[in-house]
Amino acid sequence: MLDNLISNALKFTAAGGKVTVSVEGGDKSVTFCVSDTGEGIPPQNLEKIFDRFWQAELTRRLGTGLGLSVAKAIIEQHKGRIWAESEAGEGTRFYFTLPSITALP
């Protein structure tokens, strides 16, 4: 999942841009964030990015459209959550949480 998010961030960030990976631990979950300074995702596309085979018109030749849907399925199977935040021209942040080891039964 992390590899897919980092690869996407690198793919959609122009030369000279920045990709950042961070992790924050909590009592019940760990939150990962991959952020980039790319073009961002238009609001009308943000709700579709986790759908299988969905790709924005301008990026259709850059992959299969399965990476984010597979990442979402894996994260949800592990009782986690994934989401994205983006502003046009400001980049995108993908977050996902997984239960911390101390929170597991």
pLDDT, residue 99, reads 94
Yes or no: say if 45 and 35 are a contact pair by the CB < 8 Å rule: no
The residue segments making up the domain with residue 57 are 2-103
User: What are the pLDDT digits (tens) for 56-98?
Assistant: 555 545 555 677 889 999 999 999 999 999 988 889 999 999 9
Q: What is the CATH number of the domain that holds 37?
A: 3.30.565.10
* β-pair type (81-87, 19-25): unpaired
Q: Which of 24, 29, 28, 21 lies closest to 3 in space, CA to CA?
A: 21
Overall number of domains in the chain: 1
pLDDT, residue 104, reads 58
User: What are the pLDDT digits (tens) for 1-58?
Assistant: 899 899 989 988 999 999 999 999 988 999 999 999 998 888 888 888 888 765 655 5
